[in-house]
Amino acid sequence: MSDVEAGYQRVTQAILEQLEAGVVPWRKPWTADGEAPRPLGHRRPYQGINRLILSCARFSCPLWVTAARAEGRGWAPRENEKPWPLITYVPGSRSTFMPRPRTKVSDVYNLLQLEGPKWRPASRSECPNVPSHAPIIAAERFVAGVPNPPKISEDYDSAFYRPDRDLIGLPSRDRFDSIEEYYSTLFHELVHSTGHKSRLDRWGSKQMLDTSLERYSFEELVAEIGCQFLCLETGLQAPTLANSVAYIASWANRLGRHQTWVIQAAPQAERAARWLLGGTASSSRGSRHEAS
């Protein structure tokens, strides 16, 4: 087994372990000092699969360092602490329905896993007070600002996207358990819609709903991961957690048999989310308290 294949297995296994524990890896009911995970000394957060994986770590500190950089600073892992895999992409060829980038896998540690660095979270007085309705307002503004949107109709008994009609069908929003669940479902279908030939043309000459179960399953994974990116951007994290756990857990067996799917789905999901956001997705703020 190559180092890259071993890296794929580490990432997929980390996700499966979280699913078995009833946790969606890239969702958690709190934020790390209001920030997405990012490398120490950088303001831009990790993207794609790295943001998904490192967001599932139970650390209040958003800062991460490679094993080599930690060693260079004289920092050592605390007893029983294990590193997390970090995936670096190198552009490569495309297969029939998913990209196959070359990758490099390295180890990273959260600062709280190490002996040596000093870091403290911002105090409550330094954290902005966000109104409870802010995520809904953000979701409404996001949907209103989607470029070249598909038609959205709430006259149906189920949620779906029809590429041939460029139509998202949904039940009326008052039939959802919460407005958060409504928007989470709409986000999922909006990610599907980015595959249309008038947008990112993700499926090429083939339709999403062809006879290939593998192709359909992969597209569903792209849509749900993309939905989570959009939830992160708008703040719809905790309210839709239970349904998302159940949905993603249904893919656990298939993920176990396709070790590279999460690695390959994440970049497509992120691209879809960024396209829907019109390139205006907010970058995480720089840490208020950098480590020393």
Q: Are 223 and 188 in contact (CB under 8 A)?
A: yes
* Domains contained in the chain, number: 1
Evaluate if residue 217 carries a pLDDT over 70: yes
pLDDT band at 21 (very low <50, low <70, confident <90, very high): low
What element of type H or E holds 138?
helix 134-144
- What's the gap between Cα 13 and its chain centre? 16
Does 292 fall in a domain? no
Answer yes or no: are the C-beta atoms of 142 and 233 closer than 8 Å. Answer: yes
Q: Which pTM value belongs to this model?
A: 0.61
Model confidence over 253-291: pLDDT tens digits? 666 666 667 767 777 888 898 899 985 444 333 333 455
* 283 part of a folded domain: no
| pLDDT tens, residue by residue, 218-240 | 888 788 778 877 887 787 754 44
Domain of 8, in residue numbers:
3-276
What is d(CA 248, CA 165) in angstroms, rounded to the nearest whole number?
Answer: 27
d(CA 256, CA 249): 11
For 116-147, how does the pLDDT look when each residue is reduced to its tens digit (9 = 90+)? 998 877 654 444 444 456 888 999 999 999 99
- Report if residue 111 sits inside a domain: yes
**Half-sphere exposure of residue 175, counting CA atoms within 13 Å on the CB side?**
10
Would you say 259 and 9 are in contact if contact means Cβ atoms under 8 Å apart?
yes
In a domain, residue 221? The reply is yes
> Does 22 map to a domain?
yes
Is residue 108 one of the residues assigned to a domain? yes
Is 261 among the domain residues?
A: yes
CA 195 to chain centre: 18
Asked if the structure places residue 149 within a domain, the reply is: yes
- Exposure string for 114-144, b = 16+ CB within 10 A, e = fewer: beebebebeeeeeeeeeeeeebbebbeebbe
Q: What is the pLDDT of residues 189-215, one digit of tens each?
A: 999 999 999 999 988 755 444 445 677
Rounded Cα distance, 218 and 181, in Å: 23
User: Distance (Å, rounded) from C-alpha 178 to C-alpha 240?
Assistant: 9
